[in-house]
Amino acid sequence: METVESAILLYTTTYKIPGAEEIKIAQRATILSELIINPYKNTFYSDPEKVFYMLPQEMILSMPTELSNLWMIADDIDQYLRCFYKVVATPIITSPLKITPSSPYYVGDKINAEFTITNKDSIPITFSVLTVGGRGPDNQVADFTYRQNITLKPSESYNYQGILTLNKVGNYHFFCAYQTLDGDWNTSIDLGHGLTDVDRVENIIVEPRGKPSQGLVRIGDFSIDLTKVERSKDTATLSFAITKVDDTGSAPDSLQVTLIDDHENEYSNRLYINIGERNILNGLPKGFTYIDSINISIPKIAPIDRIRLKENEIPFKEIHFYKPKLKQDFGSYNIKPGTTFNLGKYLKFTIAGPKAGVTGWTLPVTVKNTEYNPLHFKIEVFTQFTNGQVSCSKLCGKQIPGVEQKIYQLKIMLSPTEGAKYGWSSPKIIVIRCYNYSISGVLRLMPVTYDDFSPLPERIVFYSTSSGIMVTNIDGSQVDELTRGAMPACSPNGRRIAFVYKGYIYLINADGSGKFKLTEGSFPNWSPDGRRIAFVYKRHICIGTESTDGSIKYKIISKGEYPAWSPDGKKIAFNFNDCLGDDIYIINSDGSGIVKLIDGGSMPIWSPDGTKIAAHHHSGSIIVSVDGSDKIIIKKGYYPVWSPDGKKIVFVYDPTIGGRDIIAIINADGSSRTEIAFCVMGYGLVKSNASWASSTEFISVDTDQFK
């Protein structure tokens, strides 16, 4: 660093000089003392709030006469005076522009825009206006909400959110923009790492509200309409409304869908027109509509110019996105819970309402055979949701003995598509089709709402080496297999389970649907808000956040294993083996403030009030206050799990060394032990990890046998 005895600060008149940015040229000069030169940026610093660049002397000498005449020479400086101009911080976009909800868009709709801007420079910047700018039909201004007078300090970020009401039919172009205090607009903001030009703009099409179906194409008894198109990375997701419009028995197979860009490149995939077996389509009543989607690989920067459906080629800008109305009333097809109908002369089917069970909901179907001989039959059930999507459940070929009655449970999937990652959709209608090989089937529809689905019972989910991840009632009266895997951990709302299978962490919905691979790792544990997962990757504790594309972004906070969140989400307990054995530590969730809690112990879990930690211990289970005091040992009770009120603990009980291990519940003071289920068959020790969700949700116990 250098100190300059005197220099000239020249005041504001703006000129353009070839090879330089805007230069603030002086109309008069003032001498400043002790300006600091930063040799790395070639800048003068008068103070932290005022930063000025130094203009090279060579440029001064090459100035036009009318500019160089403005220069003034101070009496006490025998050199050319240098011109300074103010440094302006350069912010960048660090999360892409996102418009919600997704298409289709109609006149009168309100849409939201969101992006994040970050000041990566060493000086602050103030925006007089921050917005998402827009140009609508006829190039009319369509800007989102103005956020005014926003100052970002170095490294500070701002998450912009704004609203816009769409008031005209046509094409809209949106872009991130800001205005500085001097009135200049920037509509081409620099981009952060990993972002591209398409991440700062969005284009949408607005349609007239209530426009009827255009029937883009007809296949067999079904018409096909496009409901929306979504672009993500190098994929376009197209959603179609498929409607039964005729009853000729002509069931289609599939539809070739091709996107064409403005360079005449073609990108294709096939939309399969089916729900379960083909006869279900033939049996549907006219007017029944369902939604299905396909993905087509296409570069995100490539615009969709045309779409080809079958032989029909349609300019994309002329397509009117269809918003279907999903019916529930289909007249004589409709039934209520308890309805009985015949299939042929001797088979009777009685359909009950949805029934809650340990792995979700089922539809009980009573089948009665009045024939003297056995009869074969099949039952298919699919559930339609308020978004139009469907999920299927099939009871494959069954044989019921002569003159006999049986009850069969068909699973109702409350997640619309396999691979769905978020939550449950609201059910709208259940479609039931019963048939056999010699008699045409009978199809009925049962309108439903969430009120028809009683709350699920309190349950335990655990891992058995012989069967995988299992679910049981709290009293052990019903045990079902959920999926293959180990180390299950329930989300705080009980709707999803994280587990490990072949070295990867998966998510699955509590009813067994929506299995989804998340990332490589083990020992998953949900944060209290359900937004983050702590897990172990190569013997390091990681904190992962699931992104919108289903991938997980994570950071490493410490070496260790078996992470467990505190109830407030601020701390994580874990165990670390320092070659002398496992000890339990507590660390802040940002990786700071690590503290050893106790010597000896593993697989810690916090009490609901955050004052105690229970853990596996060499003599059983140990319960200890977070300051290391008040230790309680539960002998032969391994891998404890707290109840929601902190009064009970569920654990793996090993009455003998080796053999049949038991899941048991005990009061937190060690009294009143109750055995509820066997969890492992065979010889060897048992290890487990567990979490107990709130009432009507899941307890989760993970057991894994090793020899």
CATH superfamily of 459-706: TolB, C-terminal domain (2.120.10.30)
Cα 378 to Cα 15, 116, 362, 399, 400: the distances in Å are: 83, 54, 16, 9, 11
Find where tokens 């701390």 sit: 571
**Predicted confidence (pLDDT) at residue 14 exceeds the cutoff of 50:** no
DSSP-based three-state secondary structure for 184: coil
d(CA 206, CA 208): 7
Burial of 548 (0-12, 13-18, 19+ CB in 10 A): exposed
**Cβ-based neighbours of 363, under 8 Å, separated by 6 or more:** 351, 352, 353, 354, 355, 381, 409, 410, 411, 412, 430, 432
| Eight-state DSSP code of residue 454 | P
**Predicted confidence (pLDDT) at residue 704 exceeds the cutoff of 70:** no
| Closest of 350, 479, 448 to residue 408, by C-alpha | 350
pLDDT in tens, 292-325: 999 999 998 999 999 999 888 999 988 888 878 7
What average pLDDT does this structure show over 376-392? 85
**Predicted confidence (pLDDT) at residue 208 exceeds the cutoff of 80:** no
DSSP-based three-state secondary structure for 371: coil
Strand (E) or helix (H) holding 40: none
Q: How many residues does the chain have?
A: 707
pLDDT, residue 38, reads: 35
**Predicted confidence (pLDDT) at residue 214 exceeds the cutoff of 60:** no
| CA-based R_g, the chain, Å | 33
Strand (E) or helix (H) holding 288: none
* Phi, psi for residue 183 in degrees, rounded to 5: 95, -5
d(CA 315, CA 31): 66
**Predicted confidence (pLDDT) at residue 364 exceeds the cutoff of 60:** yes
CATH topology for the 331-450 domain: Immunoglobulin-like (2.60.40)
- Cα angle vertex 476, ends 471, 477, to 5°? 100
d(CA 505, CA 344): 48
pLDDT, residue 53, reads: 36
**Cβ-based neighbours of 638, under 8 Å, separated by 6 or more:** 616, 620, 621, 651, 652, 653, 654, 686, 687, 688
What average pLDDT does this structure show over 419-432? 62
DSSP-based three-state secondary structure for 116: strand
d(CA 552, CA 546): 4
* Phi, psi for residue 451 in degrees, rounded to 5: -65, -20
Q: 88 or 290: whose pLDDT is higher? A: 290
pLDDT, residue 24, reads: 37
Q: Where are the alpha helices (DSSP H) in 215-277?
A: none
pLDDT in tens, 542-576: 988 765 555 567 788 888 988 999 999 999 999 98
d(CA 206, CA 134): 13
**Predicted confidence (pLDDT) at residue 48 exceeds the cutoff of 50:** no
**Cβ-based neighbours of 230, under 8 Å, separated by 6 or more:** 102, 103, 236, 237, 239
DSSP-assigned beta bridge partners for residue 619? none
Q: What percent of the chain has pLDDT over 70?
A: 76
Return the structure tokens found at 142: 């369509």
Are the C-beta atoms of 80 and 106 separated by less than 8 Å? no
Q: Residue 414 — pLDDT band, cuts 50, 70, 90?
A: low
- Cα angle vertex 437, ends 436, 439, to 5°? 65
Q: Any idea which of 95-109, 270-284, 598-612 has the lowest mean pLDDT?
A: 270-284
pLDDT, residue 112, reads: 92
What average pLDDT does this structure show over 49-58? 40
Strand (E) or helix (H) holding 59: helix 57-61
State the DSSP string of 562-600: EEEE-TTSSEEEEEEE-SS-EEEEEEETTS---EEEEES
How many CA atoms within 13 Å lie on the side-chain side of 572?
A: 30
What average pLDDT does this structure show over 202-219? 73
pLDDT, residue 149, reads: 93
Which amino acid is residue 430, in one-letter code? I
Return the structure tokens found at 408: 């069969």
pTM of the model: 0.53
Are the C-beta atoms of 504 and 519 separated by less than 8 Å? yes
d(CA 479, CA 201): 52
Q: Any idea which of 293-307, 601-615, 623-637 has the lowest mean pLDDT?
A: 623-637
**Predicted confidence (pLDDT) at residue 328 exceeds the cutoff of 60:** yes
What average pLDDT does this structure show over 189-196? 86
pLDDT in tens, 443-474: 999 998 877 877 777 777 777 777 788 887 77
Which amino acid is residue 461, in one-letter code? V
Find where tokens 């969709």 sit: 304
* Phi, psi for residue 438 in degrees, rounded to 5: -110, -10
Strand (E) or helix (H) holding 27: none
Q: Residue 88 — pLDDT band, cuts 50, 70, 90?
A: low
pLDDT, residue 3, reads: 32
| Closest of 654, 657, 698 to residue 679, by C-alpha | 654
Which amino acid is residue 349, in one-letter code? F
d(CA 544, CA 556): 9
What average pLDDT does this structure show over 631-636? 74
d(CA 598, CA 581): 11
d(CA 57, CA 383): 77
DSSP-based three-state secondary structure for 271: strand
Return the structure tokens found at 629: 């005091």
pLDDT, residue 276, reads: 64
Find where tokens 């074969």 sit: 376
pLDDT, residue 425, reads: 58
d(CA 346, CA 403): 9
Other Cβ atoms closer than 10 A to 364: 16
**Cβ-based neighbours of 58, under 8 Å, separated by 6 or more:** none
Q: Was domain 217-318 assigned CATH 3.30.450?
A: no
Residues of the chain with CATH 2.120.10.30: 459-706
Return the structure tokens found at 439: 């008699």
Are the C-beta atoms of 652 and 675 separated by less than 8 Å? no
**Predicted confidence (pLDDT) at residue 28 exceeds the cutoff of 50:** no
Are the C-beta atoms of 408 and 380 separated by less than 8 Å? no
pLDDT, residue 152, reads: 93
Residues of the chain with CATH 2.60.40.10: 91-207
pLDDT, residue 495, reads: 73
| Closest of 49, 48, 53, 42 to residue 9, by C-alpha | 53
**Predicted confidence (pLDDT) at residue 144 exceeds the cutoff of 90:** yes
Largest CA-CA distance found in the chain, in angstroms, rounded: 122
d(CA 543, CA 532): 7
d(CA 206, CA 321): 9
Total H helices, total E strands in the chain: 3, 59
Which amino acid is residue 655, in one-letter code? P
- Cα angle vertex 238, ends 233, 239, to 5°? 135
Strand (E) or helix (H) holding 414: none
CATH number, domain 91-207: 2.60.40.10
pLDDT, residue 7, reads: 34
